[in-house]
Each structure stands twice: as C-alpha cells, then as structure tokens.
C-alpha cells in the first residue's frame, strides 16, 4: 500500500469533493470496483469532472455497439437480456484499444471493468506496460439497496437520460423531461436479471479483491450506500489525495481538503 494507507482506512467526509487539477507525479488508473448498482458510473462521472481524465465505461461502449446493431452489439444484447456477462476476450480488446488513445495519457477512470480475475490480469499487464499506477476504489452497498436502486431506474430511449423513481424521478411520470419520450426499463434493470447479475458478481468478481491485493494494488473501501453522491466523491478524493495519487487544491466549498 502506498504510504502505509491500508485498505478500508478511508476517512469519512461530510463535505464537497476537492477541486483538483492534475495528478501529482503519476499517471493514475482509478478502478471503481463494486457490484452492479453500487454507484460506479455516478462516481466515475464526478471524478472525471474534477480530475480531467477520461471515464472509460465498458457498459457504455457495449451499449453503443448495441445501438449500432453490429455483430458485437447483437452478441452483447442476447447475453445481457439473459443476465449473463460478455466474454472476457471481447471486453479486453475494447479496453486495450480505448486506453491507447491520446486522451488517456494523463490517466484514466475505469467503471465496470475488470469483472473477472482473467480481465484483471490482462488489465494490470496493459496498465503496467503503458506506465499507469493502479488504485482500486471499492464501493460497498447492501444488495437489497442495489435491487431497489436498479429496478427503479428508467431511461429515455432517445437521449439516454437515466431517472430513478425514488431519488431522481421525471417531472411527469413515465416521460423524459428533456424530449418528452416515453421512458423504458432496460432489460438489465429487471429485478430477476439484477439478482442474477448479483449472484454472478459474488461468484466471479469478488475474488478480484484478493487478486488486486496479491498484486500490491492499493485498495480503498468506501461505503456507497449511506451518503450522498457528492459526499462519496469527497471520501474518494480524500483517499486519493492522502495516498499521493492526486494533488490537493482548495475545495469547491472554499474549505481546504486536509491530508
């Protein structure tokens, strides 16, 4: 662990995340790790805003292929509809191509990948080859909270905006605020599929933590179910600042972030 900062030792914060420019002296690969619905996507977008490095979501990449109706998309659609995961080789190839692009030279944020030990082994080799310093942020959320979160999600089929019936409902039930389209439930947000994905997560991806530890990767465990997204981002930033992965500046609220 960097600077003796152990996994699980992230200090809770109740403030806005830090305003951050660039990493100190490393090219970070921040892996947001956790079960489906743990908030990886939300935190990735927030961290991208503050760190100014790209957010790489394998889910977004696969959905783009699905919308395009190409061979990769048709294969992914059938697997996701049945609650199964896309094969490692296909996802690994998509990620390898993406992290070689010029905008990744200062660092990356990975969301939803890796999901298996095989993917993790391939990823660590790629990151080491390209000079990245890897850190895992593990978002921990109770599975019943996750089921409630995901089964209550609705998406606009036109603009892609996501809504939550409990925390971010549309102004008019069932209708997108932006374009008036009828909202839909994604195939992978049906409760039966959610529970199948959680079962697969427990069997396949929990061993990733041991793999990362064995590889000497820093791991920060964050409670992702009991605070606002902004507060969770603050906790993540504090962990990364303390460990030397990112620089410290004045916080958005005007209070400095302590080391």
Alpha helices in 36-87, H assignment, sequence order: 40-51, 58-68, 71-81
Q: In the prediction, which pLDDT does 33 show?
A: 84
Catalytic residue among 27, 98, 149, 153: 153
186 is catalytic: yes
Residue 17 backbone zone (phi > 0: left; psi -120 to 50: alpha; other: beta): beta
153 is catalytic: yes
Q: In the prediction, which pLDDT does 25 show?
A: 55
Q: In the prediction, which pLDDT does 249 show?
A: 55
- Domains by residue range for the chain, with CATH: 2-141+207-243 (3.40.50.300)
Q: In the prediction, which pLDDT does 21 show?
A: 46
Ranges under pLDDT 70 in the chain: 1-25, 248-259
Q: In the prediction, which pLDDT does 51 show?
A: 87
- Give the pLDDT confidence of 25-84 residue by residue, as tens digits: 578 999 998 888 888 888 998 999 988 999 998 888 888 888 988 888 888 888 878 877
Catalytic residue among 40, 63, 98, 154: 40
Catalytic residue among 27, 98, 149, 197: 197
Catalytic residue among 27, 63, 98, 115: 115
Catalytic residue among 19, 52, 186, 195: 186
Distance CA 55, CA 95 (A): 12
Tokens for 11, please give them: 């200090």
Q: In the prediction, which pLDDT does 183 show?
A: 96
154 is catalytic: no
Q: In the prediction, which pLDDT does 4 show?
A: 35
Task: Tell the residue number behind the tokens 């609705």, with chain if given.
Answer: 154
Three-state DSSP at 193 gives: helix
15 is catalytic: no
């Amino acid at each position: 662990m960097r600077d003796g900062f152990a996994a699980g030792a992230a200090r809770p914060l109740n403030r806005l995340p830090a305003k951050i420019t660039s990493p100190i002296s490393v090219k970070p690969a921040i892996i947001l790790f956790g079960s489906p619905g743990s908030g990886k996507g939300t935190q990735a977008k927030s961290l991208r805003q503050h760190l100014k490095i790209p957010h790489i979501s394998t889910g977004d990449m696969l959905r783009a292929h699905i919308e395009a109706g190409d061979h990769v998309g048709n294969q992914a659609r059938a697997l996701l509809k049945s609650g199964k995961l896309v094969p490692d080789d296909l996802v690994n190839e998509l990620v390898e191509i993406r992290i070689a692009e010029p905008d990744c030279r200062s660092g990356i944020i990975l969301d939803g990948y890796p999901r298996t030990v095989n993917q993790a082994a391939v990823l660590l080799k790629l990151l080491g080859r390209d000079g990245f310093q890897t850190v895992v942020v593990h978002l921990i959320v109770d599975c019943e909270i996750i089921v409630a979160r995901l089964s209550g999600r609705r998406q606009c089929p036109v603009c892609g905006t996501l809504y939550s019936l409990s925390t971010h409902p549309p102004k008019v039930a069932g209708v997108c605020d932006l374009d008036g389209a009828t909202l839909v439930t994604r195939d992978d947000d049906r409760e039966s599929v959610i529970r199948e994905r959680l079962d697969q997560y427990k069997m396949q991806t929990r061993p990733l933590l041991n793999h990362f530890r064995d590889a000497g990767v820093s791991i920060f465990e964050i409670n992702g179910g009991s605070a606002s997204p902004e507060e969770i981002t603050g906790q993540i930033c504090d962990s990364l600042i303390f460990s030397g992965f990112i620089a410290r500046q004045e916080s958005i609220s005007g209070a400095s972030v302590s080391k």
